[in-house]
Structure 1
């Protein structure tokens, strides 16, 4: 499958691709942080139980994680424009249903369908760019814009959600997606041109899709259960083991089918294998920035949802500045060096945040400085990491590799938040009593120190990334050195959402 891009990446068609890709990713990333802020109001408005409120978060996260690979492969087979429109249409319709929900069941089902729409939409947002822009500076700049806008969605969610909930109602954190979705559909229909090559392979690998969807969803569910159960409990082990068995069966099916959902030969490419590993490890710590800091500001410092959202604006600026500065720095120092630099800066920010967090903190003395380092480091990290893994991607398989990296991000983030949540709970030393503000601050501080260690571990893995297509391509625009017998490399993606492992903690603390 292939687009009909301008070779330079310029013109109204290219502009429409960047706009559609960035807004689509922004919506997917924004959605969880927006909803988390509104959870207490949802509970009061619909009289939701604690378990029902947990499923408002989990239903989205599980279907999102489970359908990513299927969404990516569908884009490769049937064309990115129609699959983009299908995913966005499903996401928008489910948002409308959720905003109008009258009971817990309707809200949870709507969130599950919304997650499926997001899983179809998310891989397409990046593969649209990689199949439209040729390798070189134009693609790097497009990816930087996509990364900045998408990652900023995570930081903006608290502010947007707080404003909508306080000024209107919790329903508008879902209903706001409807006018935005309609507008983006119009942009895509009118401005996006795509020429889809018929490959003769239009059948989806349904057995593989069922196995990988159930396997990834079971893993995400098992990781999410660690918030309320020990790692050795049946509630955690059964879904984790079941998920691993389903994924093992998926690999066996993919090795034998003529039209696999994920061609296993992709993992022989160093960029695909290394890109997924580094992304997985980096994400185990990265999501802590917004999650624990939001809890700290509201539960320890007593900030309102709106004030907490405003306090994240420097973080948003840091992500955008880091993402937009990365292409110029990559051209001078190379991709691997910039991934390492971004990881080191983010590690320093996490460590600083863990050392200064306390019950008497202030915005200027406790939040601003570490936040700029964390956000700027993540911005510097994600653009070169994305560019490294997309270099040489075959257009016909760009979607499935984007789905792979999204899955790595989702599972890495879920596992990281589960571990960090357990660290935070253990460090409060509340011994069953309601934790004090000092104990909460100690727990969040411990989580940030562990996040620093996890991010540092991702820096140590930078050497796994290939040199081919990195500095040379960034400087000259020359094609990557890919062996002719294997298909070229492929794309990762930017954050999807705060995973389901955080659900119980959000419910218990936000209320």
Structure 2
């Protein structure tokens, strides 16, 4: 298949890299530039999932946020990102990759600016939701751009390796970068930093990314009702869970939100069964391997997103770390994620995904169980360091095998959908898990304070410890679920 033409040679005949054995000289710069654009954009999107965690105490003090408000700063982005991720991927196919890329970059960059300028918690949460929408359009466009630019197998493998490494680095280094920016520039710069990067990427995309025609009338094929109903349903579900911090489970406000979530998600299922071009064809969810893999990924996301959030607060509110110290404290965990991911890449060809998932989840479960014993007068070295590395290593060991398991045996035409479902499950799991575990922590803290009103550190630690123990239950369930996946001899690559 011929490589796509670039702006510098749009009128010349298409030349494949296999004609000479090497990429043509005039194409080296554009294809390299395209890879840099795709990787940098993906890094920015994934970074914003985790970069705000260390800055949350500073945001709380400036904007007078309640604990639920801090959760929503994280969850507003995650829900906007997760709820519209599949729609964003479909948009790249229907309207053209360049248009989707520029739209996502524009929305994400503008929303980042508004986040940094926010003067209230409500304004920041709203802007974070819009930022998540921009990320949902941008992230799939970066992958599509790589897949359509690098058509020669070896070149595509190298490009995908770079893209995956950058994605892992973005998630792993978010806390470190966020801590440095918060300490030395202020929390607003965890958002402002995206603005010059976004502007530079827009200029580079205009210069180097070739225009690709979408499908005529493609926008009419977008399943807008499905996307709106699933996003609204997930938001109502998370809101209902979080609202139990200030209301009893039997309160009308809680039941109204949870009942609305059930109705909206039921409407989503009905819409997907009726529309001509569904966001998620329901038939694909009947496949045992894909469904099981997504449940495992959802549980992993629920535990891991919450870990970064809870430990960021523990480090600063209990151990007294500065923002920089809190960020740097996650560096061993970040390195452990990368080591686990590299080991999984080397072993999966020999073992298949199931053993790596089971081992990864068991290691993470041990780490979470250990973390649940954190003390009000403990230390980072004795209470956090080693179990954090266990949790992170297990996560790194399981990330790529989960994606492989979900896409194994899937027709090539549906591989993008299957991969998108995995990413969506991870983000949705993170949002729901954070709502559940942070709410558990808040309830336990309040209960402890009612009997020991002057011991805030012990109250906070009691809440965080219980939530981390529930996270251990999540990863233990993920380990059990992984056993239901087919073994190596039963898996086959997508065709």
TM-score range, shorter chain: 0.7 to 0.9
Moved more, 363-372 or 33-42: 33-42
Alignment match, 2:302: 284
Tell me what 2:330 maps to.
Answer: 312
For residue 444 of structure 1, what is the aligned residue in structure 2? 464
The offset of 1:457, in angstroms, is 0.8
Q: Aligned runs of 1:428-467 on 2, under 5 Å? A: 428=445, 429-432=447-450, 433=453, 435-466=455-486
Mark the CA change 1:78 to 1:418 in structure 2 (over 3 Å): closer, same or farther.
Answer: same
Question: Do residues 237 (structure 1) and 237 (structure 2) align?
Answer: no
Once the 2 structures are TM-superposed, how far is the Cα of residue 294 of structure 1 from its aligned partner? 1.4
1:206 aligns with 2:224: yes
- The CA deviation string for residues 346-381 of structure 1, in whole angstroms up to 9 with x for no partner, is 1222222224x2233233222221121111110110
Q: Which secondary structure state, in structure 1, belongs to the residue aligned with residue 278 of structure 2?
A: coil
| Unaligned residue ranges in structure 1 (runs of 5+) | 474-478, 483-511
CA contact (8 A) 1:130 1:393 kept: no
| Deviation of 1:234 (Å) | 2.7
Match in the other structure for 2:427: 410
Alpha-carbon distance change, 461 to 56 in structure 1, aligned in 2, over 3 angstroms: closer
* Candidates 111, 132, 138, aligned match of 2:128: 111
Instruction: Please tell me whether Structure 1 or Structure 2 has the larger radius of gyration of its CA atoms.
Output: 2
Q: Quick check: 2:408–2:491 contact (8 Å CA) kept in 1?
A: no
Residue in 2 that maps onto 1:381:
398
Cα distance change on mapping 1:419 and 1:434 into 2, 3 Å: farther
Quote the Cα distance in structure 2 between the aligned partners of 1:280 and 1:418.
14
Q: Measured at CA, do residues 40 and 279 of structure 1 come closer, stay the same or move farther in structure 2, by a change above 3 Å?
A: closer
Structure number with the bigger relative contact order (C-alpha 8 A, sep ≥ 6) is 1
The structure 1 residue matched to 2:319, chosen from 287, 301, 306, is 301
Match of 1:220?
Answer: 238
Give the gaps of 5 or more residues in structure 2: 6-15
TM-score, with length taken from structure 1: 0.79
Moved more, 283-292 or 373-382: 283-292
What are the superposed Cα offsets for residues 460-511 of structure 1, whole Å, 9 maximum, x if unpaired?
A: 111343458x8876xxxxx43x6xxxxxxxxxxxxxxxxxxxxxxxxxxxxx
- Counterparts of 1:211 and 1:96, CA distance in 2: 28
- Aligned equivalents of 2:158 and 2:431: distance in 1? 29
Question: How far apart are residue 105 of structure 1 and its match?
Answer: 5.9
Count of paired positions: 472
What CA distance in whole angstroms lies between the structure 1 residues aligned with 2:152 and 2:370?
A: 37
User: What value does the CA root-mean-square deviation take over the aligned residues?
Assistant: 3.6
How far did 1:317 drift? 0.7
Q: Which residue of 1 aligns with 2:342?
A: 324
- For the 8 Å contact 2:245–2:443, the answer to whether it is kept is no
Q: How far apart, in 1, do the equivalents of 2:443 and 2:111 lie?
A: 38
Indicate if the aligned counterparts of 2:238 and 2:435 stay in contact, CA closer than 8 A: no
> What is the rounded CA distance, in whole Å, between the counterparts of 2:424 and 2:210 in structure 1?
28
The alpha-carbon distance between structure 1 residues 349 and 172, as it changes in their structure 2 partners (threshold 3 A), is same
